[in-house]
């Protein structure tokens, strides 16, 4: 697992209400195949901003859910030796996204801010 440092939004992202984001990359290797899943947590000023961005980013190979002012995204890449790479949302990547979303919801129920 690789954890990226939290990122500050640029001017365009701030205009959308983004306050900051953080991501983790999970790698699973099986022989000549590597699967990389990136789980991102984006924090917005308002829940409506998070939902609007989720809808704008919606696509078949990305998973996304809103938890209050937070948007949890998961997306993956499959790398195969001698075949190259392609985007792929694996079942494991969806499970990682769902787990991150559940943690965000649990934090909200606890009255704190998601980390």
* Tens digit of each residue's pLDDT (9 = 90 or more) over 36-80: 999 999 999 999 999 999 999 999 999 999 999 999 999 999 999
| Structural domain boundaries enclosing 90 | 2-109
- Domain count for the chain, please give it: 1
Query: Whole-prediction pTM value?
Result: 0.87
Contact 28, 7 (CB under 8 A): no
Q: Indicate whether 27 belongs to any domain.
A: yes
Report if residue 115 sits inside a domain: no
Looking up tokens 């690789």 gives: 2
Considering the domain boundaries, does residue 114 fall inside one? no
Q: What percent of the chain has pLDDT over 90?
A: 83
DSSP 6: P
Cα gap 17→115, rounded to integer Å: 18
Query: What rounded mean pLDDT belongs to the chain?
Result: 92
Place 26 in a pLDDT band, splitting at 50, 70 and 90.
very high
Q: Is residue 6 part of a domain?
A: yes
Work out the percent of the chain whose per-residue pLDDT is above 70. 96
- Domain assignment of residue 15, yes or no: yes
**How much is the average pLDDT of 10-29?**
94
Q: How confident is the model at residue 114 (pLDDT cuts 50, 70, 90)?
A: very low
């Amino acid at each position: 697992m690789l954890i990226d440092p939290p990122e500050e939004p640029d001017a365009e992202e701030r205009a959308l209400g983004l306050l900051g984001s953080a991501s983790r990359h999970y790698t699973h290797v099986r022989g000549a195949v590597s699967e990389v899943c990136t789980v991102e947590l984006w924090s917005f000023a308002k829940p409506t901003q998070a939902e609007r961005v989720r809808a704008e980013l919606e696509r078949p190979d990305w998973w996304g859910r809103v938890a209050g002012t937070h948007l949890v995204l998961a997306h993956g890449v499959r790398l195969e030796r001698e075949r190259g790479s392609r985007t792929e949302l694996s079942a494991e990547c969806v499970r990682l996204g769902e787990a991150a979303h559940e943690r965000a919801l649990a934090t909200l129920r606890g009255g704190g801010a998601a980390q």
